[in-house]
Amino acid sequence: MSLEIRTSTTMEEILSAYPSAKLGLFRRYHIGGCTACGYQPTDTLEQVMGDHNISDPLEAVIACILESRQVEAGLQILPTAVAAALKPKQETRLVDVSSPEVEAALERGESWPLIDVRSPEEWVNGHIPGAQFLTLELKFEALDTWPKDTRIVFYSNVGRRSLEVASYFMAYGFTNVRNMAGGLEAWSGELQASNVPPLTVEVSPINDRSPGP
């Protein structure tokens, strides 16, 4: 049975029933992303709306929560589609997908910036060829100067951190961001090492829990 959301419903109850609402509320209302804009599990929806000056009616906030799963699903892009965008004219075992979205973009000659949101250590150990590492400098450059309709694909190890970054960019007005579904665990292609010497590349089983969330 689905949860009936009321003003007295706690955030713990909401997020338990709708886990995607955490990022959905951040994308829409910029809440829950840091200490200053956070909330407690025991806070009611009415308290959160009041504390963060959300002027939308309750119905709109509830709609945001209910639609968050669908919005989150719309941010996902398959690794095979990413591979097709990266290597459109090469024979590769990675490309075995028919994606209208990718095909249309390639026909228009559009590029797909692929951005790695993991830690520097993870990047050095191995990353997707052609990807860029998300430094603070690149992050602020993108947020401040890139057109808001720039197509960007983010990835992490299993896709959770990159989904958070994609949501962050979406909250700041970007309309064409995507998250590589499943992250590197779902990527069956080659990795390349950073050219930072000395380095021995050894790609071990990947998880999304360490060293970052």
Could you tell me the residue ranges of all domains in the chain?
Answer: 11-74, 76-186
Report whether pLDDT(98) > 70.
Answer: no
List phi, psi (to 5°) of 121. Answer: -65, -45
- Coil, helix or strand for 93? coil
Provide φ and ψ at 190, rounded to 5°.
-80, 155
Angstrom CA distances, 132 to 9, 27, 120, 154, 178, stand at 42, 24, 11, 10, 15
- What pLDDT, on the 0 to 100 scale, is given for residue 109? 56
The model's pLDDT over 115-160, given as tens digits with 9 standing for 90+, comes to 999 999 999 888 888 889 999 999 999 999 999 999 899 999 999 9
- The CATH H-level (homologous superfamily) assignment of domain 76-186 is Rhodanese-like domain (3.40.250.10)
Alpha-carbon distance of 106 to 111, in angstroms, equals 8
**pLDDT at 96 exceeding the cut of 60:** no
Nearest Cα residue to 156 out of 212, 106, 195: 212
pLDDT number for residue 192: 58
Dihedrals phi, psi of 180, to nearest 5 degrees? -75, 110
Question: Is 96 buried (19+), middle (13-18) or exposed (0-12) by CB count in 10 A?
Answer: exposed
Kindly state the tokens that stand for 19.
């886990």
> What's the predicted TM-score (pTM) here?
0.70
